[in-house]
Copies of this chain bind each other. A is one copy, B any other.
Amino acid sequence: MKKSVGAKTIVHPTPAFVVATYDKAGRANAMTAAWGGICCSVPPCVAVALRKATYTFGNILERKAFTVNIASERHVAAVDYFGIVSGKTEDKFAATGLTPVKSDLVDAPLIDEFPFVLECRLLQSLEIGLHTQFIGEILDIKAEPSVLGEGGIPDIEKVKPILFAPEDRYYWGVGAKLGKAFSLGLTYRK
């Protein structure tokens, strides 16, 4: 018998996306966002939900662009730092020593040290409540050759991405391969 836990924002997994933007003055900023995910296949789109209070919020509206940077486990402290402090008062790239590189497609920076990055132009914004959702059309993905697998696309086993567990706010890595989709389930088919 299931128990009521309350109206909480807990799902598994949530990501630890790093959203990178430029401010009005052209200074690069990055913040971590666990509220987001892919939201359309055609056109390819990703959603990130941010509070109005964040520096990134204004930057996205100003530049109509952002990048979603996927970090590896070894960057977990920097990812966490990006979620602790505000770009209003701190230069997060200077503090972490990470390198913002201008995208050649959108008006936003890529984080050079991270394994892969989605370059997005702002397609829609949707005010929901405390959070506003920004929907970005993915114009390209730029990836380190070292994390590419078969078909020349990022391979989760090489990327070693970071997951976030909202219930107690710990970061986790990816574990064992469980099986192939569109295949395992055929056992139930008549």
Q: Give A contacts to B, CB under 8 Å.
A: 1-15, 17, 34-47, 49, 51, 68, 70, 73, 76-85, 90, 95-96, 110, 112, 116-118, 123-124, 126, 128-131, 133, 135, 137-145, 148-156, 159, 161-190
Decide: A9 near B124, CB < 8 A? Known: A81-B185, A81-B189, A83-B182: no
Docked-complex contact A44 and B7, CB < 8 angstroms: yes
Docked-complex contact A140 and B4, CB < 8 angstroms: yes
Residues of the B chain whose Cβ atoms lie less than 8 Å from the Cβ of A70: 11-12
Residues of the B chain whose Cβ atoms lie less than 8 Å from the Cβ of A187: 77, 81
A126 to B114, CA, bound (A): 31
Q: Give the top 3 A-B pairs by smallest Cβ distance, nearest first.
A: A81-B185, A80-B185, A37-B37
A4 to B154, CA, bound (A): 11
Residues of the B chain whose Cβ atoms lie less than 8 Å from the Cβ of A135: 126, 128
A165 to B159, CA, bound (A): 11
* Copies of the protein in its oligomer: 2
Docked-complex contact A141 and B4, CB < 8 angstroms: yes
Docked-complex contact A153 and B8, CB < 8 angstroms: yes
Docked-complex contact B41 and A188, CB < 8 angstroms: no
CB of A54 to closest CB in B, whole Å = 13
Docked-complex contact A185 and B40, CB < 8 angstroms: no
Docked-complex contact A170 and B177, CB < 8 angstroms: yes
Q: Can you add 7 more A-B contacts, CB < 8 Å, to A42-B130, A126-B135?
A: A7-B140, A11-B70, A84-B185, A90-B190, A153-B167, A169-B182, A174-B174
| Candidates B8, B34, B36, B82; contact of A141 at CB < 8 Å | B8
Decide: A175 near B178, CB < 8 A? Known: A41-B9, A140-B7, A166-B38: no
CB of A142 to closest CB in B, whole Å = 4
